[in-house]
């Protein structure tokens, strides 16, 4: 079990440059331990002393900024950490979905590979800048007017309960959400390409007798796996086996359909009429997705074996290892 002090230090280290982490790690831990020992010597219980010490230190993000010599006055030091977290979340989750939808629409409208890539880059820049601007503008208004601050509970003091957990086998909620969202998007794309995007579907309609319903079921199983993994709460050999099975259920038929040329609709003429080999590019993209699935199988197997053997897991962005 990761201690409260570890969680506090790990959270602070993720916000400082890598070359400073070693010194700050030692200095911060020594400072915390000294303060805790002083409280224990005065008669306070150790757990209570740790929590009180961390509350006095405050938000580890702001503490890290002081260690790194950063001035968070873009919109004010009180709202800056929340602004940063919200913006990163939007850019990491909403922006990729918007880009994916834009790429699909561009392919169906004009499959020229140059236009597809250009449209994706333009969407990243345009939507990314718009998100950054409007989120920053909203927080700037909030900073200068204070409107809605009380109802949003922005003035709520930081407590150790706000610290993220760094357990060796902890399953991040973001991974679950990403897995479920991608499965839903792929199911929606599979169904919509048949009925809405064009008069002639992109994928071979003959496969609706078996393979496309099969693929939908496999995607539902993939989403269910991510939910089950989150509820299971740890990586182990059972997870390794289940992940292997559910990945093979979708990968093997996909590769077979691509290799036997039964994936795309032969009547969808613009594959052959396009200036670039769009069909070839899409096929390569799908095979790349298969390669990513193979990497995921290996990664989950390694995490499960490390957890079984009690080996430490690396805490992302801190340079430290969690020994559980």
pLDDT in tens, 135-193: 888 777 776 565 544 444 555 566 777 676 665 556 777 778 878 888 888 888 888 87
CB of 225 within 8 A of CB of 242?
yes
Say how far apart CA 112 and CA 108 lie, in whole Å: 10
CB of 266 within 8 A of CB of 202?
no
pLDDT of amino acid 248: 92
Asked if the model's pLDDT at residue 224 lies above 90, the reply is yes
pLDDT of amino acid 220: 93
Say how far apart CA 65 and CA 231 lie, in whole Å: 35
* C-alpha count within 13 angstroms, C-beta hemisphere, residue 106: 19
Dump pLDDT digits (tens) for 227-237.
Answer: 898 888 788 88
- pLDDT average, residue stretch 288-314: 77
Q: Distances in Å between the alpha carbon of 50 and those of 11, 36, 57, 67, 85?
A: 16, 6, 11, 21, 26
Using pLDDT thresholds of 50, 70 and 90, give the confidence band for residue 216: very high
pTM of this prediction? 0.54
Asked if the model's pLDDT at residue 197 lies above 60, the reply is yes
Say how far apart CA 256 and CA 260 lie, in whole Å: 6
User: When comparing pLDDT for 319 and 223, which is higher?
Assistant: 223
pLDDT of amino acid 151: 46
Residue labelled with tokens 């740790």: 50
In three-state secondary structure terms, 264 is: strand
């Amino acid at each position: 079990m990761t201690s409260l002090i570890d969680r506090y230090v790990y959270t602070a280290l993720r916000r400082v440059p890598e070359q400073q982490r070693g010194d700050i790690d030692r200095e911060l831990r020594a400072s915390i331990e000294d303060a805790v020992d002083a409280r224990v010597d005065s008669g306070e219980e150790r757990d209570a002393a740790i929590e009180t010490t961390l509350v006095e230190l405050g938000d580890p993000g702001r503490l890290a900024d002081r260690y790194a010599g950063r001035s968070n006055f873009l919109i004010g030091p009180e709202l800056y950490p929340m602004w940063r977290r919200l913006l990163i979340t939007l850019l990491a989750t909403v922006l990729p979905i918007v880009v994916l939808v834009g790429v699909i629409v561009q392919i169906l409208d004009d499959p020229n590979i140059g236009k597809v890539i250009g449209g994706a880059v333009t969407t990243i820049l345009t939507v990314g800048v718009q998100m950054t601007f409007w989120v920053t503008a909203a927080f700037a208004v909030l900073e200068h007017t204070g409107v809605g601050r009380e109802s949003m509970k922005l003035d709520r003091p930081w407590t150790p309960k706000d610290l993220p957990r760094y357990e060796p086998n902890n399953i991040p909620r973001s991974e679950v959400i990403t897995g479920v969202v991608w499965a839903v998007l792929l199911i929606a794309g599979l169904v919509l390409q048949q009925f809405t995007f064009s008069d002639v579907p992109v994928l071979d309609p003959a496969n609706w007798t078996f393979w496309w319903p099969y693929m939908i079921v496999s995607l539902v199983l993939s989403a269910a796996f991510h939910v089950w993994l989150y509820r299971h709460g740890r990586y182990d050999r059972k997870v390794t086996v289940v992940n292997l099975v559910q990945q093979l259920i979708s990968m093997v038929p996909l590769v077979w359909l691509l290799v036997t040329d039964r994936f795309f609709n032969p009547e969808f003429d613009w594959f052959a009429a396009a200036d670039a080999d769009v069909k070839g590019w899409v096929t390569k993209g799908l095979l790349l997705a298969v390669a990513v699935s193979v990497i995921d199988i290996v990664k989950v197997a390694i995490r499960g074996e490390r957890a079984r053997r009690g080996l430490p897991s690396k805490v992302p962005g801190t340079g430290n290892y969690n020994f559980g």
